[in-house]
Structure 1
Amino acid sequence: MNLPNKLTVLRVIMVPFFVFFMLTDVGGAANKWIALALFCIASLTDLLDGKIARARNLVTNFGKFMDPLADKLLVCSAMICMIPSGKLAAWFVIVIIAREFIISGFRLVASDNGIVIAASYWGKFKTVSQMAMIIVLILDLGGVFDVIGTVLIWVSLILTVVSLIDYVAKNIQVLTQGGM
């Protein structure tokens, strides 16, 4: 297993620890900071694995499949953890997760047809906006950061919808070739 794939696996392994610190108060006030640190480190692995894979020509089918799944696991877990605190509305998280299920289904159909679909730029922008939103919401600093958090929530939602439309439009042949 190459370094980019190891970073992707590390991101997946970090998710349960992140969720633990988001949903418990074992560490008291430090939980927020531990969860934030875990989320930031996991997010950085997303940036690094792709850069390393492309720079060293280490792009693999495993990476093309697992990297987006690791992102979804990290981001969706974080958003689900924010519903009980009221930082995110359940409907918002449902829209985000629905998009992820649709894209995953699309990838599954593509895979059955021998096609591997890598993440698009719109999907990458969506992921970055969601990660920035999550960081701001975990920080929970109040004041102007509440406004920034609200803006990032709406930007994330818009990019989620745009990336879904872009993804389907560019890969519609997957559905027609898949016998659907």
Structure 2
Amino acid sequence: MSEKPSEVRLRTRIWSVLRALVFVCVIFFIWNGMAKTAAAFVLVALVMGWVNLYQLRSQEIEKPYYRLWLNVVDGLLSFAVMMSIFIRDLYHSESAEKILAVGCAILLARLIAHTLFSLGVLREGKKLPQKRRWSKLANIATTVTMGVYLLDLEDYQQICMVATILLILASTVAYAYWYYRDPAHRKPLSIASQLTMSRIVLTPFFLWVFFYDNDLDYSNNSIVFKVLSLIMVLGFMLTDFLDGKLARAMGEVSTLGKYLDPFSDKISNMTIFMCFIATGYAPVWMVALIYFRESSVETLRTLAASEGLIMPARKSGKWKTALQGIGIVMILLGAIDPVRALIPGFESIWNVFPQAVMGVITGITIISGIDYFVSSKHILKKFV
């Protein structure tokens, strides 16, 4: 005989309350200096969370408002545990890790935003979305990170926290996408435009990763964040390659995409070049020339739009963007000490290597700009 829905919901609520009590015990043990016992209870909470999500499937059977407030309680307790760990570290070392503070702030911001958003959805009479894969992974990663910090596994703390932050950001983007793809809320962006927008959204995060150690000398940065910077740039390049391909393949080529794609490239690349100026990888005059070319071509594109014309991308522009990406990857790859040590004689030329690569990038960029102006003489004649 199958169980009644009310009986199943009661069991999942009891399970959720027990998990909350486990987190309360974790907080108690942290404040009493029993880190290993707290870590053991975190492991119990991890297992209970997995059972709740994948075995009991509480997200599928719970009533909307109950589900919302159970999630709020769970989020508050997770934040309380992370803050307790942060305060403990601050109390003992007088300088707790910055990324731990950032993680606590992101956890709290996510909780507040998700709660307000969910309340708005429920008041509109709409159903809450079930937790997606990214959200489930973010919750599991948060719990794992708690255990790593409690056990003082220094080699894995930063890696786990960065992974948790990225998963939280991914789950937030997924939730926002679910909301705005509903025609009742907003006209949905195409997948191609979403990929393009991701470069703009992630660019400020690249700044934080690049200057994570608050030192303008990038060579002093942690290898974890050097690798993360490289991965982000590769992600920028991949999305730049895919957005146009997907737009054409899915028949979603739009005027917005034609303008947004080059704009996002310029935002991300110019931000990276500004970082290179700060750390000494590029002289100011090179980046100034690149900026002059980019702004001039954008002005030309704006003039064309005012006449109802769309200035198509030139092959030289595509080559320019590709070579800029390759050059950036070469510099960031060379900045990773173990990689540099693998190439015989590379250490001796490293001091001039970034400037040499930036010189090539600057030359190609200027040539591309000249090509755009020569091919757009018919547009300029309307204004000169």
TM-score in same-fold range (> 0.5): yes
Distance 1:83 1:12 in 2: 20
For 1:92, the equivalent position in structure 2 comes to: 286
Instruction: Report whether the alignment pairs 1:3 with 2:191.
Output: yes
Q: How many Å apart are 1:25 and its aligned residue?
A: 1.6
Q: Alpha-carbon deviations, 1:107-139, whole Å to 9, x = none? A: 111111111113211011111111111111122
Equivalent position of 1:114 in the other structure: 308
- For 1:117-128, what aligned pairs fall within 5 Å after superposition? 117-128=311-322
Q: Distance in 2 between matches of 1:81 and 1:154?
A: 16
Letter in 2 for 1:175: L
Q: 5+ unaligned residues in a row in structure 1: which ranges?
A: none
Give the C-alpha shift of residue 150 in structure 1: 5.2
State the match for 1:23 in structure 2. Answer: 211
After TM superposition, the structure 1 = structure 2 runs for residues 153-168 of structure 1, keeping only pairs within 5 Å, are 153-168=358-373
Of the three residues 243, 264, 284, the one matched with 1:49 is 243
- Measure the CA separation in 1 of the matches of 2:278 and 2:361: 20
Partner of 1:171: 376
Q: Is the 8 A contact 2:209 2:228 kept in 1?
A: yes
Aligned-partner residue type, residue 6 of structure 1: Q
| Contact 2:287–2:362 (8 Å) recurs in 1 | no
Larger displacement relative to structure 2 (55-64 or 93-102): 55-64
The share of aligned pairs that are identical, in percent, is 30
Moved more, 26-35 or 45-54: 26-35
1:74 aligned to 2:268? yes
Q: 1: CA distance between counterparts of 2:311 and 2:248?
A: 16
The one-letter code sitting in structure 2 at the alignment partner of 1:79 is: F
Count of residues paired in the alignment: 179
Kept in 2: contact 1:120–1:167 (CA 8 A): yes
Distance 2:323 2:353 in 1: 12
| SS, match of residue 83 in structure 1 | helix
**Structure 2 stretches of 5 or more lacking a match?**
1-188, 215-220, 341-345
User: How far 1:68 sits from its partner (Å)?
Assistant: 0.3
Post-superposition offset of 1:154:
3.1
1:118-172 deviations in whole A, cap 9, x for unaligned?
3211011111111111111122254178476555323312211111111001111
**Counterpart check, 1:14 vs 2:225:** no
**Take 1:152 and 1:56, find their aligned partners in 2: how far apart are those partners?**
36
Give the alignment's TM-score, normalised by structure 2: 0.44
Equivalent position amino acid for 1:8 in 2? T
2:75 maps to: none
What secondary structure does 2:312 align onto? coil
Counterpart CA distance in 2 for 1:120 and 1:53 is: 18
1:130 touches 1:152 (CA, 8 Å); kept in 2?
Answer: no
Give the whole-Å Cα distance in 1 for the aligned partners of 2:360 and 2:196. Answer: 26
Larger Rg computed on CA atoms: 2
Q: Residue 49 of structure 1: CA displacement?
A: 0.3
1:76 shift after superposition: 0.6
Q: CA RMSD in A?
A: 2.0
Deviations 1:71-103 (A, max 9, x none): 001111001001121111111111111100101
Which runs of 4 or more aligned residues in structure 1 lie more than 4 Å from their structure 2 counterparts after TM superposition? Answer: 147-151
Larger displacement relative to structure 2 (94-103 or 158-167): 158-167
